[in-house]
Amino acid sequence: MATKTKKSKKPETLLDNEGSSSAMIEKNLKRALPTDIAFKGIKVKKTKKTQSEQSEQSEQFIVYPVDDMIQKTNNDNDELKKLLISKELIDVREEQIIFKKYKNSEIINLPRLSENKLQNRMHIRKGKLPFIYRRNCNEIFCKVLGSIEEQNASRGLYIFGPSGLGKSYSIYYLVAQFRLYNNLRVTYINSCEEWWRSHEDEPYEFLLNELICTFSNDELSPLNVADWIEFVNDGLTKRLSNKFDELKENSKYSNEERFKTFITGLRKYVREKEYLWVWVFDQHNALHKYNALAKYPFSLVKTLPTRLDEIGLIIVSVSANNEVYPKEFESWEKFSMYSGYTDDEFLEWCKMRNYEIDRDPQLKSQLDSIRFWTNSYPLELDLWHWHMTNADGSSLVEETSKYLRMRGTQIKSNYQTFRKSLDHNELISLNSCVVSMILGSTSPGAIYGMNRQFMYEKSVSEGGDSRETIVAIHPLAQQAIIDSHSEHPLKELRDMVSAVFNKDEYSNDTKGRFAELYIKMLLEYTKTLECKIT
């Protein structure tokens, strides 16, 4: 009996007071410790190293014998616990895990958390994932902790933000944290894209691999995890019928029905043990792209909050784009991410890339330029690094300028394609959002035409008052948006400001503010053009 995953056909592309409250997970839920058991050999897909990234993303089959699989799981958790203790990120008091408050950023080499194929942006090296511990890791942890402590009636958490912020890395660390708790069971879908691809070829194998990882050390009776997987794949074999005769009726059905029986059994087990079952679905956009959410098992994303109720928490992570917002997530708790690396996180990135900026003023100058134009987005810094790695020998300044032109052109092209897809009313909405972005004025009432890949609504405070405005994800995106307009980039803005002055319903104070913002924008835009690298 074996499980396997389908090799992805998608080419690799390069585009994220000491924590005493965290101990309440175990204290409040009063969960018992699980007991380890052994099960039959499990076959999973392992990955090989590639020459370029030395990552383990090619695939081969390896059979893990009973004891080896359990020992591997135990070793990974023990290694992770020792690692985080050595980094002073956790403490152990009276057998409880205490996660400490964020103090500073640093590089951590995390163990692999899944034997399924990870998303293409994650590069495993020698069995480890190089990872920069960031402030947002603590922020996500606290948000999820609040949901676990039953402050979240929806039992769902929706994490979103632009692509390239490092959300997936922060979620990977979150899963690593929660797997140290004896009273939590975490099922981690690292890539919904890979899940969908695998299911097309080998139904349920991807999920079964993750459930092995989730429950491999649990004492399920009368069937253990390996028995259940055999039941899902092969029905009620003679060996299984001797262990659990009650499955005979369900054995007639399809893989889907047998898998549902398996999930029901796991839910019953989690409830009896008073555990909490956390499901994490990363890169959830793929399920929209393939219109898969209405089909089982992908519909689990929508149905699990109700099925698990108080014994479950469902976490979905998506990249902000222009898809229709899923109605099923409207009642869920939200957590947004829009910030790139902080100064100390950027220094850790430099260490990871072997950049000694203190010894190379020109390198520091060019990296400062990239940081300014991209708001220190991790993906943008990585793209610049890969661009420089494959440079043709031009100077550092020339290559940096070339990179910024290339990225600006890409963003401009994407933005123009988006504009062409809009109807008349959506185009008016988009133009109003652009005006708000440039002026820093209050966002328009209707933002349904906003390009969410490059813009978002942000709350700002002035003089004790707060308001919503539209901002670009970074200066390079803002410049590309302005440059993408066929006429002079300020013409539409000028026309809209003129319209304000021609309407009687606006007070003189409002008109004065618009005039002030318009003049300020002109000065800033002129300065930007002078500074722009061309």
At which of 302, 321, 336 does a domain end? 336
Nearest partner of 55 among 10, 122, 4, 3, judged by Cα: 122
Q: Which pairing describes strands 184-189 and 276-281: parallel, antiparallel, or unpaired? A: parallel
Q: Which domain holds residue 520?
A: 417-531
**366 domain-assigned:** no
For residue range 507-521, list pLDDT tens digits in order.
677 667 767 766 766
**89 domain-assigned:** yes
Same domain, 310 and 173: yes
Nearest partner of 163 among 387, 474, 373, judged by Cα: 474
Rounded CA separation 79/129 (Å) = 13
**13 domain-assigned:** no
Give the position of tokens 């894209």: 193
* Highest averaged pLDDT of the listed ranges 9-18, 341-350, 459-468: 341-350
pTM, to two decimals? 0.81
Question: What does the pLDDT read at residue 55?
Answer: 42
**Mean pLDDT across 304-313:** 92
Same domain, 123 and 230: yes
For residue range 139-189, list pLDDT tens digits in order.
999 899 888 876 677 889 999 999 999 999 999 999 999 988 889 999 999
Same domain, 167 and 281: yes
Same domain, 309 and 456: no
Same domain, 308 and 426: no
Nearest partner of 476 among 358, 386, 378, 376, judged by Cα: 376
Cα 256–Cα 217–Cα 212 angle in degrees, nearest 5 = 30
Same domain, 329 and 186: yes
Question: What does the pLDDT read at residue 5?
Answer: 43
At which of 280, 308, 336 does a domain end? 336
**212 domain-assigned:** yes
The count of domains in the chain is: 2
In 51-63, which positions are buried (b, 16+ CB within 10 angstroms) versus exposed (e)? eeeebbbebeeee
**407 domain-assigned:** no
Same domain, 210 and 65: yes
For residue range 128-137, list pLDDT tens digits in order.
999 999 999 9
Same domain, 185 and 302: yes
Rounded CA separation 53/55 (Å) = 5
The residue type found at 77 is N
At which of 336, 371, 400 does a domain end? 336
Give alpha helix (H) positions in 313-466: 343-352, 361-374, 378-389, 396-420, 424-439
Give the position of tokens 């409880």: 96
Question: What does the pLDDT read at residue 512?
Answer: 72
How many helices (H) does the chain have, and how many strands (E)? 19, 13
**Mean pLDDT across 79-83:** 87
Reported confidence tier of residue 32, pLDDT bands at 50, 70, 90? very low
Question: What does the pLDDT read at residue 354?
Answer: 95
**384 domain-assigned:** no
**448 domain-assigned:** yes
**123 domain-assigned:** yes
Same domain, 429 and 308: no
Contact 62/56 with Cβ under 8 angstroms?
A: no
